[in-house]
Structure 1
Amino acid sequence: MIKTTVKISGMACAMCEAHINDAVRGAFPVKKVTSNHSKGETVILSEEPLDEAAIRKTIDATGYTTGEITSAPYKKKGLFHFGALQI
């Protein structure tokens, strides 16, 4: 699984987030997409890496501006994952 984080400027509300999410879902085979206008980013989970140019084209076509795009392997954390918990 791949986690792609896209910085986006121009989002101002939940409807903006939904607009981005719908565009991404319509253009790519994603497992999950979540946008956050406060953070100015969209996080996409997919089985395969996504083409950066295609992501930019899809998001820019909605009227928002795509910034930095980063991708990294993603592994879902289990129920009892405590991260760096120190006892």
Structure 2
Amino acid sequence: MTDLKNSGSCCSTDGSCHSGAASDTQTGGVTTVYKVSGMTCGHCEGAVSQEISALSGVTAVTAAARTGEVTVTSAAPLDEETVRAAVDEAGYELVGTA
């Protein structure tokens, strides 16, 4: 996957973005908040959300570039290394849980 944080193509010079974040409002299960570094806009949020959403058992993902937090709801607790690999695939760095 392309390293989106370094591509420079998702944000204009005024910080506005060309796409929104992927989000799902389903509830239930285990909710964990992760800190992710490098997200700066809605496009970044979408890239991280897309990769984490593809993990088995994930039912909802909300990424917030402003805070650097990604809230993940899953049927069961997720292995942090699995989440780290998904965030890495999106081109960002998982710092840990918030």
Per the normalisation by structure 2, the TM-score is 0.67
Q: How does 1:1-80 map to 2 (within 5 A)?
A: 1-69=29-97
**Runs of 4+, deviation exceeding 6 Å:** none
Amino acid at match of 1:68: G
Shift in Å at residue 63 of structure 1? 1.2
Question: Structure 1 regions of 5+ residues with no counterpart?
Answer: 71-87
Per-residue displacement from partner, 1:26-70 (whole Å, max 9, x unpaired)? 123211100000000100011101011111111012210110225
Which structure exhibits the higher relative contact order, with contacts defined as CA atoms closer than 8 Å and separated by 6 or more residues?
1
Q: Which amino acid aligns with 2:77?
A: P
- Superposition RMSD in Å: 1.1
**Partner Cα separation in structure 2 for residue 27 and residue 3 of structure 1:** 14
In 1, Cα distance between equivalents of 2:67 and 2:39: 9
Higher mean displacement: 47-56 or 61-70: 61-70
State the partner residue of 1:75: none
Gaps of 5+ in 2: 1-28
Tell me which residue corresponds to 1:79.
none
C-alpha distance in 2, partners of 1:32/1:61?
18
For these two proteins, the number of residue pairs brought into alignment is: 70
Higher strand share: 1
Cα distance in 2, alignment partners of residues 42 and 63 from structure 1: 14
